[in-house]
Amino acid sequence: MTQLVECVPNISEGRDPRSLDALAEVVQGVEGVVLLDQHRDPDHHRTVFTIVGGADAVLCAVYELVRVAVQCIDLSIHHGVHPRVGAVDVVPFIPLQGATMAECMNLARSLGANVGTELAIPVFLYDQASALTPPRQLECIRRGGWGGLSQRMATGGEWCPDFGPQQLHATAGAVCVGARDFLIAYNVLLHTKDLAIAQAIAKSIRTSGGGLPAVKAMGVPLPSRGLVQVSMNLTNYRETSLSDAYRAVQEETERYGVKIEESELVGLAPQAAIPLECIKNLKFKRWNPDQILETRLVQAGLM
């Protein structure tokens, strides 16, 4: 059985097609990997790449992606609604066919060492790649954005990066590298401009606010649409499904007297997370069956 690893880098660029095309070409130029998907979002000013292949090839492709992104993106002048600390903000490795979490943890540490040493960018390991007890969580690293992380790094101690220098790169910031299971990025758009409503709903449904298990959520504005959005990460879709998340948002919108405009899946998700019978109830405006991970793997000849 061919070993497959997935990597889903989140890049702090969602508006410049030339830069994004250049980054895609870098990935596609590495033998042994397939770029399955790109989700470009100009409001979040962020693009999510989905890369799959053998472990060594994926490691090579992602390093090249980081190297070129540093040349293309200046985070010091970056403005977007999504919190971020790096030009390449987040790089999670996920085990697929024949791969283990331990192998993905090693890939995260290898990438971190290469980026820290060769590109002089501080790297923070998170989730299962972190050696700390308890392990670092992504939201803690990104709290307060670029400025917040810079201040914490100045204190040293637990805020020393795992690899690289003790200060942020002048234009690339830092990189968060992790190993994890599947995460479903899911957004629900509300038919209102009132950001406070989206933020209140996000607070009520996320785990840290006493809401659903395995849910991280935030309310953000979408200037291009004149709407607001509840942006969620479902860190365990078996505990909280897409349908569960949608219903929770819907119940809250009814309390505030607003309607759901639509919802969207960011990137790809495994078939088990998207039962076909639930799709029609999620108010997807642009549902595409190719967003099912297994479908794309078959199309790419990897399954």
Helices (H), 73-185: 101-118, 138-142, 145-154
H/E stretch holding 21 reads helix 17-28
pLDDT, tens digit, for every residue of 88-125?
999 999 999 999 999 999 999 999 999 999 999 999 99
Dmax over CA atoms of the chain, in Å, equals 53
CA distance 234 to 273: 10
pLDDT, tens digit, for every residue of 42-62?
999 999 999 999 999 999 999
Would you name the residues annotated as active-site residues?
82
Phi-psi region of 157 (alpha: psi -120 to 50; beta: other; left: phi over 0): left
- In this prediction, what percent of the chain has a pLDDT beyond 70? 100
| C-beta separation of 85 from 135 below 8 A | no
CA distance 53 to 97: 10
| C-beta separation of 186 from 263 below 8 A | yes
Same fold, 5-179 and 184-287: no
Q: For strand 123-127 and strand 88-95, is the pairing parallel, antiparallel, or unpaired? A: unpaired
CA distance 291 to 269: 6
Per-residue pLDDT for 23 more than 80?
yes
Domain ranges of the chain: 5-179, 184-287
pLDDT, tens digit, for every residue of 163-206?
999 999 999 999 999 999 999 999 999 999 999 999 999 999 99
Per-residue pLDDT for 1 more than 80?
no
Could you tell me the fold of the domain covering 184-287? Alpha-Beta Plaits (3.30.70)
**164 - beta bridge partners?**
none
Query: Of the candidates 37, 42, 45, which has an alpha carbon nearest to the alpha carbon of residue 84?
Result: 45
Per-residue pLDDT for 141 more than 80?
yes
The structure tokens listed for 12 are: 């702090």
Query: Of the candidates 283, 256, 260, 221, which has an alpha carbon nearest to the alpha carbon of residue 80?
Result: 221
CATH 2.30.29.30 fits 5-179, yes or no: no
Residue 275 has a pLDDT of 86
At 225, which amino acid appears? R
pLDDT, tens digit, for every residue of 277-303?
888 899 998 888 899 999 999 999 997
The structure tokens listed for 301 are: 């000849």
Question: What's the whole-number mean pLDDT along residues 233-257?
Answer: 97
Query: What DSSP designation does 94 have?
Result: E
CA distance 258 to 262: 12
Q: How many residues are listed for the chain in this entry?
A: 303
CA distance 205 to 218: 10
Residue 205 has a pLDDT of 98
